[in-house]
Amino acid sequence: MTTAELCARLSLEPLCLAEPDRPVTGGYAGDLLSWVMGRAQSGDAWVTIMTNRNVVAVASMADVACIVLAEGVEPDADTLEAAQKQGVNLLRGESGAFALCAAIAAALAE
Amino acid sequence: MTLHYDIDGENFQTAGEASANVKKVLRQLGISTDIIRRVAIAMYEGEINMVIHANGGVADVAITPDRIEMTLEDSGNGIPDIALAMQEGYSTAPENVHELGFGAGMGLPNMKKYTDEMKIESTVGVGTKVFMAVNLK
How do residues A1-39 score in pLDDT, each as one tens digit? 999 999 999 999 999 999 999 999 999 999 999 999 999
In angstroms, the CA B16 to CA A85 distance is: 13
SS3 B17: helix
CA A29 to chain CA centroid, nearest Å: 9
- Chain A positions touching B107 (Cβ under 8 A) are 34
Give per-residue pLDDT as tens, B60-75. Answer: 999 999 999 999 999 9
* Among the listed residues B93, B49, B92, the one whose alpha carbon sits nearest the alpha carbon of residue B72: B49
CATH number of the domain that residue B123 is part of: 3.30.565.10
What would you measure as the largest C-alpha separation in chain A, in angstroms?
36
Q: Where are the alpha helices (DSSP H) in chain A?
A: 3-9, 33-39, 54-62, 77-86, 97-109
* pLDDT tens track, chain B, 137 positions: 999 999 998 777 778 999 999 999 999 999 999 999 999 999 999 999 999 999 999 999 999 999 999 999 999 999 999 999 999 999 999 998 999 999 999 999 999 999 999 999 999 999 999 999 999 98
Is A60 within 8 Å of B23 when comparing Cβ atoms?
yes
- Alpha carbon distance B117, B13 (integer Å): 29
pLDDT of residue B28: 97
pLDDT value at position B70? Answer: 98
Cβ atoms < 10 Å from Cβ of A82: 26
How confident is the model at residue B137, as a pLDDT? 84
H/E run at residue A92: strand A90-92
Quick check: A42 and B102 CB within 8 A?
A: no
pLDDT tens track for A24-82: 999 999 999 999 999 999 999 999 999 999 999 999 999 999 999 999 999 999 999 99
- Composition of chain B by helix, strand, coil, percent to 5: 35, 30, 35
- Tell me whether 0.90 is exceeded by the ipTM: yes
Helices (H), B1-102: 17-28, 33-53, 82-85, 95-98
Cα four-point dihedral sign B73, B79, B82, B87: negative
3-state secondary structure of B19: helix
pLDDT of residue B12: 78
What pLDDT sits at residue A102?
Answer: 98
B40 vs A contacts (CB less than 8 Å)? 60-61, 63
The class that CATH gives domain A3-109 is: alpha beta
What's residue B13's pLDDT?
Answer: 76
Residue A73 in contact with partner chain B when CB distance is under 8 A: no
B67 contacts: CB under 8 Å, gap ≥ 6: B116, B133, B134, B135, B136, B137
Count of CB pairs separated by less than 8 Å, A with B: 68
The CA distance from B50 to B98, in Å, is 16
Range of the domain at B66: 2-135
Amino acid, res. B54: A
Closest CB from B19, B33, B107 relative to A61: B19
Phi, psi of A48 (to 5 degrees): -155, 160
Domain count, chain B: 1
